[in-house]
Amino acid sequence: MIEPVKLLFSEVTDDSRTRHHFCNLLTTSWLRPERALLDAYMVSVIEPFTKNLSGNSLDWGCTDASLSFAILGGIFKFEYDDYLEVEWLSKLNEIKIGLNVDFFDKTSSLSVDPVLKSSGRKFTHGLSWKESHVLKAERFKIHDLLSFQEFERKLPYTDNFFNFILATNLFWIEGEIVLKNVLADLNAKCKLGAKVLTIFPQKSAPLTIAQQLEGADKEWVKKIDRGISANLLMNAMTLEEFTVLFESTGFKITNVVEFCPALISTIYQIGFRPMFPVFLNMYEKIKKVSPEKLMEIKQQWINTVSDFMLPLCDSEWMSKTGMQNTWYFFELETI
């Protein structure tokens, strides 16, 4: 077993970068600031490892490409957000009868360009599992070629093709065998010595919200959790288990960084999620009556949220308390 190089979060980035990324991501996910907070930690730790982005590169599981855009240093325009295409009212009947509605699986012609500033860097390829992902990703102009297919299928590229792969959504894959197959396929498509960047939850992380609420009313816990605990725990492993997994699929860990203090993870698991349907309802109704007033409210919202949440981007004080981190960032290399 190859011993990975362990780096501290503070050795890779600093709190000012986390604050910068939080403010940038809050522009696009302002109704879900807890998501912007967690994503800011993730973007902060990944960004420095993309400096050697060169040759053929793949943004695997890019979804709408907003996080990849931020990782590459892009800045969002204030008028843009994740909710411009959401049609809450048209989905209301489906929601009332208990259907699982994906509000974001829709694209339309936008009057707002999402890009305020581009870093000028690109991936040669991008891949995700929904057509709507690809259509949205095209707006950020950070991929030369985009395509979509289910992740269980073999990648549509020749072997030994990529020098670099960003794959931040591997932890969502259900089933150990499927995960191994996907990793092995990524390895096959990489040149020898290629880099792959990914993240996974820690097995030894503190109890999830659902676990902490064990014994309470089950329906109440279910409404609060909304399945997030199961997703977070699905591929949680120890560092030793991850090392074995990656080596069995043709990778070695060149660098590993623990990130995201437990407090941030706890905030993310609840945050404003239970109120999100109400926020969407208000958002859509205000937007129809007065888009200008919506922007005023957005600015006030962001100012208020930033006042209370920016201190959570400063990880030093959390580190001094001995607070455990909950996620691993991995830089892998093909062997």
Residue 91 has pLDDT above 70, yes or no: no
Tens-place pLDDT, residues 174-226: 999 999 999 999 999 999 999 999 999 999 888 888 888 999 999 999 888 88
Which of 47-61, 82-96, 98-112, 233-247 has the weakest average pLDDT?
A: 98-112
Confidence of residue 45 (pLDDT cuts 50, 70, 90): very high
pLDDT digits (tens, 9 = 90+) for 120-132: 999 999 999 999 9
Residues 142-152 have a mean pLDDT of: 94
Q: Are 78 and 153 in contact (CB under 8 A)?
A: no
Beta pairing, strands 75-76 & 143-148: unpaired
**What's the rounded mean pLDDT across residues 61-88?**
93
Residue 132 sits at the vertex; the CA angle it makes with 184 and 191, to the nearest 5 degrees, is: 25
Task: List Cα–Cα distances, 14 to 10, 22, 105, 148, 282, in angstroms.
Answer: 6, 13, 35, 35, 36
Mean pLDDT of 308-316: 96
Full-model pTM:
0.94
Q: Decide if pLDDT at 289 tops 60.
A: yes
Q: Is the pLDDT of residue 139 over 80?
A: yes
Residue 253's Cβ-count burial label (10 Å; 0-12, 13-18, 19+) is buried
Indicate the pLDDT class of residue 105, thresholds 50, 70 and 90. Answer: low
Concatenated DSSP letters of 229-282: HHHHHHT-B-HHHHHHHHHHTTEEEEEEEEEEEHHHHHHHHHTTGGGHHHHHHH
Parse the chain into domains and list their residue ranges: 6-334
Closest by CA to 12, choosing from 33, 36, 42, is: 42
Residue 262 has pLDDT above 90, yes or no: yes
DSSP string over 173-220: --SHHHHHHHHHHHHHTEEEEEEEEEEEEBTTSPPPHHHHTTTS-HHH
233 pLDDT above the threshold of 90: no
Name the token pair of 2.
């190859």
Q: Which residue has the higher pLDDT, 225 or 15?
A: 15
Of 48, 47, 43, residue with least CA distance to 22: 43
| pLDDT for position 99 | 54
Banded pLDDT at 94 (limits 50, 70, 90): low
CATH no. for 6-334: 3.40.50.150
Share of the chain above pLDDT 70, in %: 94
Predicted pLDDT of residue 207: 83
Residue located via tokens 């907070």? 37
Name residue, tokens 């049609």.
Answer: 87
